[in-house]
Amino acid sequence: MFLSKLILRRGPTFPRPATFAHLHRIQRTSPYSHQKILYSFYSTKTAPAEVEPERADYQVPYTSDSFPHIKRNPAFKKVTSQDIQYFKSILAPEGVLVNDGVRADEYDLLSYNQDWFRSFRGKSQVVLKPRTTEQVSKLVSYCNAERLAIVPQGGNTGAVVINSPGNIGGGVAIFDEIVVSTSNLNQIREFDSVTGVVTCDAGCILENVDNYVAERGYIVPLDLGSKGSCQIGGNVSTNAGGIRLLKYGSLHGSVLGLEVVLPDGRIVDGLSKLRKDNTGYDLKQLFIGSEGTLGIVTGVSLQTPKRPKAMNVAMVGVESYEKVQNAFHRAKEDLSEILSAFEFWDSGSMHYGKALGSKNFKAPFEKDYPFYVLVETSGSNEEHDTEKLGCYLEGLFENGHIEDGVIAQDHTQYTNLWSIRESLGEACGAPVPIYKYDISLPVPVLYDLVEELRARLVEHGMMGPQGPVSDVVGFGHIGDGNLHLTVFAKELDSKVKSLIEPFIYEWTSKYHGSIAAEHGIGLKNSKFIKYSKSPTQVNLMEQIKKTMDPNGIMNPYKVFATHDY
């Protein structure tokens, strides 16, 4: 399915259309083939490394070997046969998975011990899969009393706690911590068709919840590439962002209530459906984004807005990052209440998305542009929204902010355009040598970091035909100042990493940005938290952790810089 052109290329052979409606009529009656209207994109760049078929015997190194400075806390007890017997007294037989060499072995536990990006690998010997909040409470209470460390886990589609798409090692064990999986907590408990509040178990798959409310005319205010396997409790625990944040805000606003099992086993029954409640501290905010270090989320009350009746998406080619900003500024003015997403990426990201992603997309432009922008609108009146989007794009073209563009004319084209954007994230998870970072910065300086890091690596002879680095690329959510910066390499090199870190964190700190925009801290970023939070803030967070989890059993070694024991 080809995309209908809305904006013609600049140049003497292409007249500028008087209106977008006129352009539509030209194309619908054009005698030329689709191939002459839409050109495929074929990059001449070289992929960062030859991707070999995954070997069946390949093993990700143990995290404890990759991070030798982290030592197992000797205060934690090792699991005994008596502990296993207790777990079996609480859960059904299939709810206790033990590496005993009989009913299960190391391979059976591999999916729980290894993160989605195959970057971290733990040594857990026990996986517990409760079906009720009461079972979670009994298990956690017992583990706390016995000093058995716990790692909460759900879909394990990312690397913070459960679902975040950045490999920072927060969702898997490091040593022999017990994995408590919420995957069996998967029931939707209640839905209020008047207010749009859905109450569900933490283990519900995000896409399933969205499909459920969609049948009732609502939409989950969160959309992620891993929505088919990530879980709502993990989304909450990592404060997952996603592409709808521009329109609907973060989960700090969408989550109305939580049910949480504390590290001592007590249940916080806070499944409120109220939009207003100022009776004391808003405790749920402590758990949103806490990465499973303060408790296990078992239930969620979520405010879902009405599902838009009209969805439009357009993609445009842009010559500079300054013009990307101009397009965003105009979008806020011209599209305002119907603007739901504003994504950008550079030409390098486009290349690697094509080379390493699974979407097999065709770029809708004849030539390669330095930058691309994807704009999505969502509203209640299709005619009104389409006209608004058309006028916005025409204004950008007339003012020289964009060079070329397309707008989707049906659902297939809509999906095709979004597949280009989604492929960029896929490329960051490809089995090739990469360094990737999740940064939040003021929009005016967002892309400067990419250019300065690229220049730094070139200056030190690390990037180029003879260097270990192939390219430095950037893409992300302009609407909320979130940059996904990726360094593609031919091989991992300690000198390259020393040039990237802590430079990238120091640069971010200089502009008062965040070193973890939406992927969290986990294990990997714990030593860099000081670049985003002051000593007072870090100390206060550590005090909260010690107060709520004095034995430190809940997802240990994560978020805060780990001490040697």
* Residue 292 pLDDT: 93
Task: Show the tokens assigned to 537.
Answer: 């803030």
Would you say the CATH fold of 434-521 matches that of 309-431? Answer: yes
3-state secondary structure of 336: helix
**Is 504 within 8 Å of 485 (Cβ atoms)?**
yes
Query: Which residue do the tokens 């994560």 mark?
Result: 558
Say which DSSP state 463 is in: B
User: Residue 1 has what pLDDT?
Assistant: 32
The dotted CATH code for 434-521 is 3.30.70.2740
Whether the CB-CB separation of 213 and 196 falls below 8 Å is answered with yes
What angle do the packed helices 382-398 and 321-334 form, to 10 degrees? Answer: 140
pLDDT of residue 54: 41
Confidence (pTM): 0.84
Please state, in angstroms and rounded to a whole number, the distance separating the CA atoms of residues 486 and 464.
16
Question: Which residues lie closer than 8 Å to 45 by C-beta, 6 or more apart?
Answer: 348, 351, 355, 471
- In 3D space, the residue among 534, 518, 328, 318 whose CA is nearest the CA of residue 436 turns out to be 518
User: What does the pLDDT profile of the chain (565 residues) look like in tens digits?
Assistant: 334 444 444 432 222 333 333 323 222 222 222 222 222 222 334 444 444 434 344 578 888 888 888 899 999 999 999 999 999 999 999 999 999 888 888 888 888 998 876 778 889 999 999 999 999 999 999 999 999 999 999 766 543 333 233 345 578 899 999 999 999 999 999 999 999 999 999 999 999 999 999 999 999 999 887 788 889 999 999 898 888 889 999 999 999 999 999 999 999 999 999 999 999 999 999 999 999 999 999 999 999 999 999 999 999 999 999 999 999 999 999 999 999 999 999 999 999 998 888 777 888 898 999 999 999 999 999 999 999 999 999 999 999 999 999 999 999 999 999 999 988 988 887 778 899 999 999 999 999 999 999 999 999 999 988 899 999 999 999 988 999 999 999 998 999 999 999 999 999 999 999 988 777 777 777 788 888 999 999 999 999 999 999 999 999 998 886 654 3
Task: Express each pLDDT in 186-230 by its tens digit.
Answer: 999 999 999 999 999 999 999 999 999 999 999 999 988 778 888
CA–CA gap between residue 58 and residue 260 (Å, rounded) = 37
What is the CATH architecture of 309-431? 2-Layer Sandwich (3.30)
pLDDT of residue 562: 60
The angle, 0 to 180 degrees and rounded to 10, between the axes of the packed helices 347-356 and 411-427 is 90
For 113, residues 6+ apart whose C-beta sits below 8 A from its C-beta are 121, 122, 123, 124, 172, 173, 179
CA distance 532 to 262: 27
CB 417 within 8 A of CB 408: yes
pLDDT in tens, 18-52: 333 332 322 222 222 222 222 222 233 444 444 44
Provide CATH code, domain 188-303. Answer: 3.30.465.10
Q: Say if residue 276 is exposed, middle or buried (CB neighbours under 10 Å; 0-12, 13-18, 19+).
A: exposed
Alpha-carbon gap, residue 556 to 528, rounded angstroms: 17
Model pLDDT for residues 229-241, shown as the tens digit of each residue: 889 999 999 898 8
Q: Got the DSSP string for 376-433? A: EEEES-HHHHHHHHHHHHHHHHHTTS-SEEEE--SHHHHHHHHHHHHHHHHHTTSSS-
Predicted local distance difference test score (pLDDT) of residue 155 = 65
Q: What share of the chain is helix, strand, coil (3-state, %, to 5)?
A: 35, 20, 45
Which residue's entry shows tokens 């007890």? Answer: 77
Q: What are the residue ranges spanned by the domains of the chain?
A: 73-181, 188-303, 309-431, 434-521
What's the chain's Rg over C-alpha atoms?
25
From CA 391, how far away is CA 111, in angstroms rounded? 50
Which tokens sit at 562? 């780990």
DSSP track, 83-141: HHHHHHHHS-GGGEEE-SSSS--TTTTHHHHB-TTS--B----EEE--SSHHHHHHHHH
Predicted confidence at residue 26, as pLDDT, reads 22
User: What residue type is 388 in one-letter code?
Assistant: K
Report the DSSP beta bridge partners of residue 318: 371
How big is the CA angle at 530 (ends 527 and 534), to the nearest 5 degrees? 155
| Torsion sign across C-alpha atoms 486, 492, 495, 497 | positive
Q: Dig out the tokens for 326 from the structure.
A: 């101009």
Tokens 């590439």, located at residue = 225
Exposed/middle/buried for 466, CB within 10 Å: 0-12, 13-18, 19+? exposed
pLDDT for 187 equals: 97
Q: Give the separation between CA 295 and CA 142, rounded to whole angstroms.
A: 14
Selection from 239, 101, 119 nearest residue 174 by Cα: 119
Given the structure tokens 């040593």, which residue do they identify?
175
What pLDDT, on a 0 to 100 scale, did the predictor assign at position 9?
Answer: 43
Rounded to a whole number, what is the largest CA-CA distance in the chain? 81
Q: Which CATH class is domain 73-181?
A: alpha beta
CB proximity list for 150: less than 8 A, separation 6 or greater: 140, 143, 177, 178, 179, 180, 296, 553, 554, 555
Burial class (CB in 10 A: 0-12, 13-18, 19+), 424: buried
